Amino acid sequence: MVDMDAFAKPGKPYYLALGMEGSANKLGVGVIKHHLGPLDENNRAEILANVRSTYNAPPGQGFLPRDTARHHRNWVVRLVEKALKDSGVKVSDLDCLCFTQGPGMGAPLQSVVVAARTLSQLWELPLVGVNHCIGHIEMGREITGARNPVVLYVSGGNTQVIAYSRQRYRIFGETLDIAIGNCLDRFARTLHIPNDPSPGYNIEQLARKGKHLVELPYTVKGMDLSMSGILEYVDGLAHDLFSGKKSKYLYDEEDGERITVEDLCFSLQENLFSMLVEITERAMAHVDSNQVLIVGGVGCNERLQEMMGIMAGDRNGSIYATDERFCIDNGIMIAHAGLLAYRVGYGNELEDTVCRQKFRTDEVYVKWRDD
């Protein structure tokens, strides 16, 4: 059993951490409280504040690093103030300041690190750099109570199947080219649908109205998958559809009706999600687990959750998922994972708070677990 209280302040029965996230187009700040002792069903982390502001690019465009960083700089002070106010916590009562060190986009990451460094000096608080993916995993475990699940991490920039072993979250499968969120976002751009609240959400809504399944490439490679070819293919179909082509493949082979944009969204989702569920199932079989946890922005998708639930059920297992407060990038997960690390002695000196765009999940030594 890991001693989670070797660094506790004498006489203080709890810990408080503030977390700041800004690795992509969301800026989030959260405040979390842990009581002494290992976390379990009877000793849960308490969420005292969790606020967020999202930068949305205009329809047809992706968010650019510079604009996103500007958004984060504009909002960071206000969000920190709001989070502190919501939590009712005094700065002097905080134990540490946690920030996303990577992976992510350079400029937005940096704008948040600068804010974190400033606050740390102003408030004389230690800094804890957090791996964004570890943030998602630890928060997902805490919220759902899943102890040792296979984790499907699906977001704008990541598609990974992860399982814990020997104090690391190890990557069993991942995309060989683009990430699932990126694939959906880019297709949304092709369709010129709005980026608000998120491109993926809008595709999900359209997909619900689709009824014809269009055949798309299905490209699973063991526990890995490839998506760029599928995107290219479905993009091509969309262009042909918009330009009014009358080709045979633009009509359903059973009822002869013309394929719609909704059908394309539906087919893309069905195809990609089947691949995701399949590689997750492969990993579950390989490591002998029957729990699955979905984290990351795309994890909010209800169809994906439904499909994963059916698969887990067929393996006599269960699925754990969270809602948009925790799935979508947020500050609380950074506070939580950072605090776990702080409690076992992690901390970053000012000079090693440089952010890392390609910080891999399996680089982190998970000292707070020893199962």
Point out which residues bind another protein (CB under 8 A): 23-25, 103-105, 155-158, 163, 165-166, 168, 170-177, 179, 181-182, 213, 215, 218, 220-224, 270-271, 274, 277-278, 281-282, 285-287, 296-297, 306-308, 310-311, 313-316, 329, 357-358, 362
Residue 337 dihedral angles phi and psi, to the nearest 5°? -65, -40
Please calculate the CA angle 68-98-30 and round it to the nearest 5 degrees: 70
Nearer to another protein, 86 or 362 (CB): 362
Say how many C-beta atoms besides its own lie within 10 A of residue 239's C-beta. 11
156 is in an annotated binding site: yes
Nearest distance, CB of residue 170 and another protein, angstroms: 4
Was 200 annotated as part of a binding site?
Answer: yes
Angle CA 346–28–148, to nearest 5: 55
- Min CB(230)–another protein separation in Å: 13
Q: Does 22 count as an annotated binding residue?
A: no
The residue (of 223 and 265) whose beta carbon lies closer to another protein is 223
SS3 of 282, please?
helix
Nearest alpha-carbon partner for 336 in 7, 20, 10: 20
Residue 76 or 184 with smaller CB distance to another protein: 184
What's the DSSP call for residue 344? T
Using the minimum distance from each CB to another protein, give the nearer residue, 96 or 109: 109
Instruction: Supply the minimum distance, in Å, between the C-beta of residue 26 and another protein.
Output: 8
- The CA dihedral of 323, 218, 206, 54, to the nearest 10 degrees, is 40
Strands 150-154 and 46-54: unpaired
Q: Which is closer to another protein, CB of 277 or CB of 339? A: 277
Q: Binding residue per annotation — 142?
A: no
Q: Is residue 153 marked as binding? A: yes
- Does 132 carry a binding-site annotation? yes
Write the DSSP symbol of residue 233.
H
Q: Minimal CA–CA distance to 104: which of 125, 80, 132, 76? A: 132
* Rounded distance between C-alpha atoms, residue 298 and residue 203, angstroms: 11
Q: How far is the CB of 92 from another protein (least distance, A)?
A: 34
**Token code pair at residue 279:** 């590689």
Question: What is the rounded CA–CA span in Å between residue 114 and residue 230?
Answer: 39
Report in angstroms how near the CB of residue 306 gets to another protein at its nearest.
8
Most distant CA pair in the chain, distance: 76
Shortest approach of another protein to residue 283 CB, angstroms? 8
Nearer to another protein (CB atom), residue 87 or residue 129 = 129
Residue 204 annotated as binding site: yes
Which residues carry a binding-site annotation for substrate?
153-157, 185, 200, 204, 301
Which residues carry a binding-site annotation?
132, 136, 153-157, 185, 200, 204, 301, 329
